[in-house]
């Protein structure tokens, strides 16, 4: 009788531990989260495009528990002089928030700020003449601000 009870208790405990381990594994972020974060915060246009596609389909990335929140360009205009900078600012926020949460912000800040500047310059590339010059100047100003105060 005692042996059957002990065997039953041991089997129950093993089953409970298996369920608990599975539940913990299901809620933990995937092991490649740092690599994904790094790939989405590079200066190149392809990094921006992949991040933008993921942002448009955040539920597919929910297991990674990324912080997608944004205040866009903070206290600066999101679309200064009509230049659409808001999505570039959202990616910059994404990098800042997620690297801060990972405890790796200071090691990545310079690259995140450079990525913002490259994103803004790609926005400006759609313009020509004096409008492009004004956009490039505004992008430079935003970049200098985040370098100094971001």
Q: Using CA atoms, how far apart are residues 16 and 2, in angstroms rounded to an integer? A: 21
Active site residue 2: no
**Over the Cα atoms of the chain, what is R_g?**
23
Given the structure tokens 């679309």, which residue do they identify? Answer: 79
- H helices within 1-128, ranges in order? 2-27, 33-39, 45-56, 86-101, 105-124
Given the structure tokens 């790609």, which residue do they identify? Answer: 122
From the candidates 66, 92, 112, 123, give the one annotated as an active-site residue. 92
Active site residues: 92
């Amino acid at each position: 009788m005692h042996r059957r009870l002990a065997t039953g208790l041991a089997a129950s405990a093993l089953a409970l531990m298996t369920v608990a381990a599975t539940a913990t594994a299901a809620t933990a972020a995937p092991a490649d989260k740092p690599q994904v974060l790094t790939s989405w915060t590079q200066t190149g246009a392809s990094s921006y495009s992949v991040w933008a596609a993921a942002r448009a389909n955040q539920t597919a990335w929910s297991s990674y528990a990324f912080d997608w929140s944004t205040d866009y360009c903070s206290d600066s205009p999101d679309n200064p002089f009509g230049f659409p900078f808001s999505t570039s600012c959202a990616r910059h926020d994404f990098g800042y928030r997620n690297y801060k949460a990972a405890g790796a912000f200071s090691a990545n800040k310079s690259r995140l700020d450079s990525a913002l500047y490259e994103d803004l310059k790609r926005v400006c590339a759609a313009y020509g003449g004096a409008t492009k010059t004004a956009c490039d100047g505004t992008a430079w100003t935003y970049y200098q601000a985040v370098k100094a105060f971001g």
